[in-house]
Amino acid sequence: MKKYRLPALILAIMVISAGCSGQINSESEYPGTLVELGYDTYESMTYEEQETVLHKRAIVYLPYGYSEDTQYNVFYLMHGGWSDETTYLGTPEHPNVFKNILDNGIAEGKILPMIVVCPTYNNESDTDSSDYSLALELTDNYHNELINDLIPAVESTYSTYAADTTPDGLRESRDHRAFCGFSMGSVTTWRTFQYCLDYFRYFMPSSGSLTTDGDYMASIVRDSGHDWDDFFIFAASGTDDFAYSSFKAQIEAMADVSDGTFRYADNEREGNLYFLEQEGGVHNGDYAMEYFYNGLCWIWQ
């Protein structure tokens, strides 16, 4: 089976060793808008009892020229450890550089205009993600909040491909929804694949693994009733990243499943699994943004 390795698409303008540099991280003449979206959910560990209500927020990016008359794809981007919903995009008052990267990528036609949503798996404390064991539990539980609370809040507020936010409406619009994350955000991405394949078509995990049991990952697909051409995984990691070996082991174990559930390819016609391996890449936010950017340049094109 051929293995596809993706070199960085536009690294000439992203000098990772010194952080993002050049025009791509500068303020754009065509800026999108950041908004805070508040919504109610339930305490993660007792979610099914629905007794303890939590009020949370997500940071939402609306592309330049956003219009209620246009339908937009939605890209859900989860933070990693020691982080929160403001890590990547910042806030409306204090945007981070990744907003500029989105603005410029869209303005240059390299990224399709889309809605980007940065939520958090933090539960009752803003510092939950700094507790590794707790974070593992919270990422495993996050699908409850994601499907029942966050997505309905986002896609009933903004113009997306969801005709409505009932379970049927969300399932029918899955082709227009992606989930992405780095490190513990990658673990959340794998958990989203595990629990929410009916609601998402695209998954972009990077430098954070779930298991090296390829047959288990294939069983998730089989049990969901989906076929190999109903989803695509755009995976990424760096060769000097401490998570690289375990992440690569998971990708290779999935590709080695003999029934063809996972197929290496650089396009959706031929397969559903792509692995970007960045030579010398380490475990930090600069490389995370590189992986996100490369994935965003590919998705929905």
pLDDT tens, residue by residue, 145-180: 999 999 999 999 999 999 999 999 999 999 999 999
The span from the CA of 158 to the CA of 110, in Å, is 23
Q: Tens-of-pLDDT digits for all 301 residues of the chain?
A: 344 544 444 333 333 332 344 689 999 999 999 999 999 999 999 999 999 999 999 999 999 999 999 999 999 999 999 999 999 999 999 999 999 999 999 999 999 999 999 999 999 999 999 999 999 999 999 999 999 999 999 999 999 999 999 999 999 999 999 999 999 999 999 999 999 999 999 999 999 999 999 999 999 999 999 999 999 999 999 999 999 999 999 999 999 999 999 999 999 999 999 999 999 999 999 999 999 999 999 999 9
Q: For helices 214-224 and 184-196, give the axis angle rounded to 10 degrees.
A: 40
Tokens of 218: 């294939």
The span from the CA of 199 to the CA of 178, in Å, is 9
Tokens of 274: 């792509």
Q: For helices 214-224 and 244-255, give the axis angle rounded to 10 degrees.
A: 60
Nearest Cα to 152, choosing from 235, 39, 10?
Answer: 39
The span from the CA of 138 to the CA of 131, in Å, is 10
Cα atoms in the Cβ-side hemisphere of radius 13 Å centred on 3:
13
pLDDT at 3: 47
Q: Where are the domains of the chain?
A: 11-298
The span from the CA of 102 to the CA of 202, in Å, is 18
Tokens 């998954």 sit on residue: 203
Contact present, 177 and 206 (Cβ < 8 Å): no
pLDDT, tens digit, for every residue of 41-62? 999 999 999 999 999 999 999 9
pLDDT at 22: 60
pLDDT at 216: 99
Cα atoms in the Cβ-side hemisphere of radius 13 Å centred on 8:
20
Q: What is the CATH number of domain 11-298?
A: 3.40.50.1820
If one counts every other C-beta atom within 10 angstroms of the C-beta of residue 21, the result is: 13
pLDDT at 23: 84
The span from the CA of 173 to the CA of 171, in Å, is 5
If one counts every other C-beta atom within 10 angstroms of the C-beta of residue 3, the result is: 12
pTM of this prediction?
A: 0.94
